[in-house]
Structure 1
């Protein structure tokens, strides 16, 4: 999802920022706004227990922000195949950042978190890095999903089975990989006309009462529902529920999350705005903001009493949005591109077709 290149959808209005012609402002806007919601949601975690309204907002956001992220990831993976150049891009753009940042976060937990027992394990993703290894596995299976006649029901069946299988364990966060799989497969099944459909004026207007009702349900559910269901990282048994609740919740949350993701996308601007270019740097914001969030926990940034009131929640929200905005910007991209988007041409063999084309060009 982070490296979106597509044929532009219909644009409205004049471009206010300069973006490459092969990028679509709508999807860059959607990625930026989604990463802001991710960062804000993480910043709310230490405060949500003090306010039912804030915890309701947290539940509401968690119902759709990662599903929307993953649906867009699937949409931009539709053409993935096992051609050498795409496999290289998958390795350098997803797998290598996972290896680097999983190591970095584990070391950060050891040092800043004062937890010398934190293992350096590449099989147990810590905090944010689960999404990268999940995206790696989802994209590798894309050719399989393209061959299946009814991919979405199959993916939902796999997610339902995972939700009643606590034996899966924590290796590579497979529970999340499997339970979030239907959203990725849904993205694979979508076409540009589907996104045009949700951006109709009638859908935007309908999204207002739907979102308001969803927020009211989220507020009501605070004392009645375990928010662990929204993380998709545990089976029903691990959440203390009967086994049959797993498949039921997978289907219920899928319907709810897709509906709210559609509401979110319906309000995403389609024209180029001041933050549109930042959509190209969402991987940087995603991977880096976790250090700030965790540092706030480790160093007592949330200890001030005033932060646990309405003004404090608003301040934290604005700071989180501003921080992730800066982390998506060009200066951060220039400094950390070697870690987040390494080229690594030295690590790959040049395929025979490329060598033949270069010899042909040299002979002309």
Structure 2
């Protein structure tokens, strides 16, 4: 069985330890250090004297956070915000459309792969189910209602319905994550999890009757990336972090941008959302299978290139990786508000310098929304403890007392 995840089991939801917000992420301990000593010798030295563990050096922690994944989450969430800022610019700028397509080809797959990677230890244990409820289900409900009320007010649509089964805008990811993580034990027991998940995604892409309930098209079409994350090990990330991989990533991304520039006026960008079947996009049914497989391969290559460029050292932005859920959910109000308020109708926004300023503004806003003050202000919604909602575990209580 995989070790307890050092991060929370997903890319966006903040890390916790024992129900409290964690300031550091746990790295799995080496097997030799984690193995307990035999009961007859544990805690005693020669002569029968009990040994006292040497104190850790000041300012250090026995379990430290992996800066690589925090950096990856922060940089990915910045790309999410920038992608949203480019969306209204695509019609008037082929360059903006090319950047938009390139980013959308890998930013959510990267998040989902990280989510799967840190879901490897998930099972139906009581404390993990509680964290799934408080860290995923409750924020989904709160923000689905909040976004609906915001749309009613900002878009002058007072009758827009509140529906927990039909997520609006960004909240689909939390619903999908809830479903994916519940299925984690199943993917651990099947023999070929990734091919099976990919087959399910292909079938979903040619099945328009699935409908919009629970956003199942996205749940199923993005599923292979989550299952890949479940199948990855630390050594797999080391492969893409080598110098050779970083060098190769440069021409690959350059080629992706060139191809996106060519494809921008010819391709429906809705393929990258994975929320519709091929028939719903006006394409023949067989193209759903072809596009799903082709985009799956392209996304994996670009995700690998993205990971290759992620620094593994602690940087100024590393601590912001713990606040990606905050940035993700909160920036949606500004992104949608800019559309409802017709901010993009201003001519200067569509000039080259305007596009640059919009991009920098989006990156700055998402950075601020990931900071600790914002986390403290919205922790009640993102990370509610809700101890009152769960039955006490007598076994766990007895274990903690001992």
Q: Same fold (TM over 0.5)?
A: yes
Displacement after TM superposition at 1:122 (Å): 0.5
SS of 2:344's equivalent in the other structure is coil
**Cross-structure match for 1:190:** 232
- Structure with larger Rg: 2
**Cross-structure match for 2:397:** 355
Displacement after TM superposition at 1:224 (Å): 1.2
After TM superposition, the structure 1 stretch with the greater mean CA deviation from structure 2, 349-358 or 265-274, is 349-358
Displacement after TM superposition at 1:355 (Å): 2.6
- Please give the alpha-carbon distance, in whole angstroms, between the structure 2 residues aligned to 1:217 and 1:137: 34
Displacement after TM superposition at 1:357 (Å): 2.3
Q: Does 1:7 align with 2:24?
A: no
Displacement after TM superposition at 1:23 (Å): 1.8
**Cross-structure match for 1:211:** 253
**Cross-structure match for 1:60:** 102
Question: C-alpha offsets along residues 61-87 of structure 1, whole Å, 9 cap, x if unaligned?
Answer: 000000001000100001100000000
Q: Does 1:181 align with 2:181?
A: no
Task: Please say if residues 26 and 63 of structure 2, whose CA atoms lie closer than 8 Å, have aligned partners that are also in contact.
Answer: no
Where do 4+ consecutive residues of structure 1 move more than 4 Å? 17-21
- Please give the alpha-carbon distance, in whole angstroms, between the structure 2 residues aligned to 1:262 and 1:7: 22
Q: Does 1:90 align with 2:90?
A: no
Q: Does 1:304 align with 2:346?
A: yes
SS of 1:233's equivalent in the other structure is coil
**Cross-structure match for 1:272:** 314
**TM-score normalised by the chain length of structure 2:** 0.86
Q: Does 1:324 align with 2:366?
A: yes
Displacement after TM superposition at 1:20 (Å): 9.2
Structure 1 residues without counterparts, runs of 5 or longer:
10-16
Pair 1:128–1:240, CA change in 2 (3 A)? same
Does 1 or 2 have the higher relative contact order (CA < 8 Å, sep 6+)?
1
**Residue of structure 2 aligned with 1:245, choices 275, 287, 296:** 287
**Cross-structure match for 1:313:** 355
Task: Please say if residues 122 and 181 of structure 2, whose CA atoms lie closer than 8 Å, have aligned partners that are also in contact.
Answer: yes
Task: Please say if residues 124 and 172 of structure 1, whose CA atoms lie closer than 8 Å, have aligned partners that are also in contact.
Answer: yes
Question: C-alpha offsets along residues 135-176 of structure 1, whole Å, 9 cap, x if unaligned?
Answer: 000000000000111000000000000001101100110000
**TM-score normalised by the chain length of structure 1:** 0.94
- Please give the alpha-carbon distance, in whole angstroms, between the structure 1 residues aligned to 2:230 and 2:388: 32
How many equivalent pairs are there? 353
Task: Please say if residues 71 and 317 of structure 2, whose CA atoms lie closer than 8 Å, have aligned partners that are also in contact.
Answer: yes
CA RMSD, aligned part only? Answer: 1.6
Displacement after TM superposition at 1:301 (Å): 1.9
Structure 2 residues without counterparts, runs of 5 or longer:
1-10, 16-24, 30-58
**Equivalent residue runs for 1:31-46 within 5 Å:** 31-46=73-88
Task: Please say if residues 65 and 261 of structure 1, whose CA atoms lie closer than 8 Å, have aligned partners that are also in contact.
Answer: yes
